[in-house]
Chains A and B, each alone.
Chain A
Amino acid sequence: MTSGRVINWPRCLLWLCSTVVIGYLLVPLLIVVPISFSSGAYLQFPPPGYSLQWYRSYFQDPQWVDATWLSVEIALAAAALAVILGGLAAVALVRMAIPFKAAIRIILLLPMIIPSIVVAISVYSLYARLHLVATFVGIVLAHTILALPFAATMLMSGFQQLNRSLEEASFTMGGSTWYTLRRVTLPALKPSIAAAAVFSFMTSWDEVIMVIFIGGGDATTLPLKMFSYLRTEINPTIAAVSTLLLAAVGIGFAMIEFLRPRLSRARSSAG
């Protein structure tokens, strides 16, 4: 949007709309965080009093902490795998001529369309035979499949958007394919890769139906543990878990922002 010396009404409007939307996104968090400090025994808002009991119950129960770590590990692995596989597929689908392109795109989208409970019951017997039930690898593979549609779609739109002239310039100036990939293409794709990674992570992070079937026992993820609580009682421990995660993300982000100028200085000085 252009800026001029007069009041930029379109831009003001843009800021106004954006503020409203961000408010909409963050308002539930303003409910969840206070509830996590509630001294009451069930979900009440506003809380009758404040206490750290739910945080205590979270940290004291090794199952909660184990479940959290397991979910993080599974989601990281599934996201990495989905982005890599989805990226490869996206390159092929966007840049190359292959037969049945439309059919392949639909197949890549299928895991998102078919209700996951049907996927779960069908995958279960296969997993049972392969002894993948309640294993880390099994859940990661299943979540990768569920995340692939996201990763592939995001990366496809990223590739489509890519300004090919930049790559062409790199080639004409003598850059190898690998160099171009590393220094031109991938950096330009950063937003799409990041978005694909985030979506894939979140798909795995929140996924509960498949895990009910192929997880369980020692392979209990956080959503699975929360799910069984919410079925029987609405326990504010899950609000505490959520608040902790928010804090972790917030702190992680702050650290990255803080370290970023130092990292880029180090990188630029290293050449």
Chain B
Amino acid sequence: MYGSLRNLWALLPLSFAACLAAAPVHPARAADNVVYINSSGGTLDDIYRKIFWDPFTKATGIRVVSSAPVDQAKLMAMVKSGNVIWDVAEVDDGDFWRSKQLDLLAKLDLAKLPIADMPKGTYDPYGIWENAYSTVLVWDTDKWPMSGKHPTSLMDLWNQKDFPGPRCLWKDAIDNLELGVMHAGVPRDKVYPIDQDLAYKQLDELAKNVAVWWTTGAQSVQSIVNHDCVMGTTWNGRPYQLVVKDHAHLGVAWDDAILHAAWWAIPKGAPHYDAAMKLLAWMEDPQRGAQQAVLTGYAGPNRLVAQYLPKEVAAFLATAPDHMATTLIANDQWWTQNGPAAEKRFLGWVISK
């Protein structure tokens, strides 16, 4: 690295030549045998490639180029600048409604999708569910094994008497506000609009025992594995993959979970609209949806998926009937409207903890 300068000069033109020769050129966009999809990436990407995208390419000849991560700002920048790269984009939760409001999405051709098999609310003229996921409680089974007394509800976050120890919570207003008012006794159907003052009173108490405020999805589970916390919140797919595949010492509690959804949408001005619709229809197929559920722990909206699922997997899904009985469905519209202000208030609150 500290080689003589002369050697360095010699390297420069060589490396430039190498770079130019190997430079990945942006492929011709007009060709309609390619479709660009943007999603969360990581292991989900790998799984989707295996069960959705490679089979899609085999069946239709349309190449699927994936990119990650999900970024709302990039979506807006893309659509605003008129140079849309993504044909299909994953949009989470409140971002979906915000994108609709800001006119960033193209109208879907719902006739091409199996919406007859989907519950209302899982599809929209501008988007369709990719999957549903719930915020659940995950805890360290080394401390409280499944055979003995163990946490059963997210309300146990406050339960220092039976389950003492540090917690880890998401450093975000989402879910925490809902958990706060639910702990104050507000019934599920009266959670929205959220009484933030009430929520913060409860959160003040909880915050005393929070050791980790996690910011990335993987962090909360990693903190429990590292024994920095004994329990915390996370999204159900994460512990599912670790417990089912890798036998991690984690337990999952579903009572008082909060349900969210991730949507597939087509950005306005996407260059390969038809290919995008084809891909969406492909991904909403129930058999493939079952594979998705088995491998990721997250299920799509198609009701028919249930018949292809093994029982053990069905029990892990956010939308499983016994889970839904005690699950709060997050009100994305409330979040779209009140999100920015709520997040600001939360940030101001959490930095003083």
By a beta-carbon cutoff of 8 Å, the part of chain A in contact with chain B is 40-44, 69-70, 73-74, 76-77, 80, 117, 120-121, 124-125, 128-129, 131, 133-137, 186-187, 190, 193-194, 197-198, 212-213, 216-220, 224-225, 227-235, 249, 252-253, 256, 260, 263-264, 267
Interface flags for B221-246 (1: CB within 8 Å of A; 0: not) read 11001000000000000100110011
Give bound CA distance, A219 to B221, whole Å.
31
Q: Is there an interface contact between A227 and B71, defined as CB atoms closer than 8 Å?
A: no
A-B contact pairs, 17 of them (CB 8 A): A41-B245, A73-B19, A117-B73, A124-B77, A125-B77, A128-B78, A128-B82, A131-B26, A213-B71, A213-B74, A217-B66, A228-B42, A229-B41, A232-B218, A232-B238, A249-B1, A263-B4
Q: Is there an interface contact between B246 and A233, defined as CB atoms closer than 8 Å?
A: no
Complex partner residue of B222 from A43, A190, A264, CB under 8 angstroms: A43
Say yes or no: is B179 at the interface (Cβ < 8 Å to chain A): no
The stretch of B5-13, B165-173, B187-195, B324-332 in contact with A is: B5-13
Q: Is there an interface contact between B77 and A121, defined as CB atoms closer than 8 Å?
A: yes
Judged by DSSP, the binding face of A is helix
Complex partner residue of B15 from A76, A124, A190, A253, CB under 8 angstroms: A76
CB of B7 to closest CB in A, whole Å: 7
Q: A73-B22, A76-B19, A133-B83 are in contact. Are A124 and B74 (CB under 8 A)?
A: yes
In the complex, given contacts A218-B24, A218-B27, A230-B218, what are 5 additional A-B residue pairs having Cβ atoms less than 8 angstroms apart?
A136-B23, A217-B26, A227-B41, A230-B42, A230-B216
Say yes or no: is B67 at the interface (Cβ < 8 Å to chain A): yes
Say yes or no: is B152 at the interface (Cβ < 8 Å to chain A): no
Interface flags for B195-217 (1: CB within 8 Å of A; 0: not) read 00000000000000000000011
Interface residues on B, range: 35 or more
| Closest A residue by C-beta to B37 | A217
Q: Is there an interface contact between A216 and B85, defined as CB atoms closer than 8 Å?
A: yes
> For residue A230, which residues in chain B have a CB less than 8 angstroms away from its CB?
42, 216, 218
Q: Is there an interface contact between A41 and B1, defined as CB atoms closer than 8 Å?
A: no
Q: Is there an interface contact between A218 and B65, defined as CB atoms closer than 8 Å?
A: yes
> For residue B222, which residues in chain A have a CB less than 8 angstroms away from its CB?
42-43, 234
Complex partner residue of A233 from B4, B43, B67, B74, CB under 8 angstroms: B43
> For residue B24, which residues in chain A have a CB less than 8 angstroms away from its CB?
70, 135-136, 218-219
By a beta-carbon cutoff of 8 Å, the part of chain B in contact with chain A is 1-8, 12, 15-16, 18-19, 22-27, 36, 38, 40-45, 65-69, 71, 73-74, 77-78, 80-83, 85, 216-218, 221-222, 225, 238, 241-242, 245-246, 248
Give bound CA distance, A133 to B15, whole Å.
22
| Closest A residue by C-beta to B23 | A136
> For residue A194, which residues in chain B have a CB less than 8 angstroms away from its CB?
1-2
Give bound CA distance, A120 to B81, whole Å.
13
> For residue A120, which residues in chain B have a CB less than 8 angstroms away from its CB?
73
Closest 5 CB pairs of A and B: A228-B41, A232-B42, A128-B83, A41-B246, A228-B68
| Closest B residue by C-beta to A253 | B1
> For residue A198, which residues in chain B have a CB less than 8 angstroms away from its CB?
1
CB of A131 to closest CB in B, whole Å: 7
Among B23, B40, B246, max chain A CB count under 10 A is at B23
> For residue A70, which residues in chain B have a CB less than 8 angstroms away from its CB?
24
> For residue A252, which residues in chain B have a CB less than 8 angstroms away from its CB?
1
Q: Is there an interface contact between B12 and A80, defined as CB atoms closer than 8 Å?
A: yes
> For residue B25, which residues in chain A have a CB less than 8 angstroms away from its CB?
135-136
| Closest B residue by C-beta to A264 | B4
| Closest A residue by C-beta to B71 | A212
Q: A73-B19, A218-B26 are in contact. Are A133 and B65 (CB under 8 A)?
A: no
> For residue A134, which residues in chain B have a CB less than 8 angstroms away from its CB?
26, 85
Q: A124-B74, A217-B65, A218-B65 are in contact. Are A231 and B3 (CB under 8 A)?
A: no
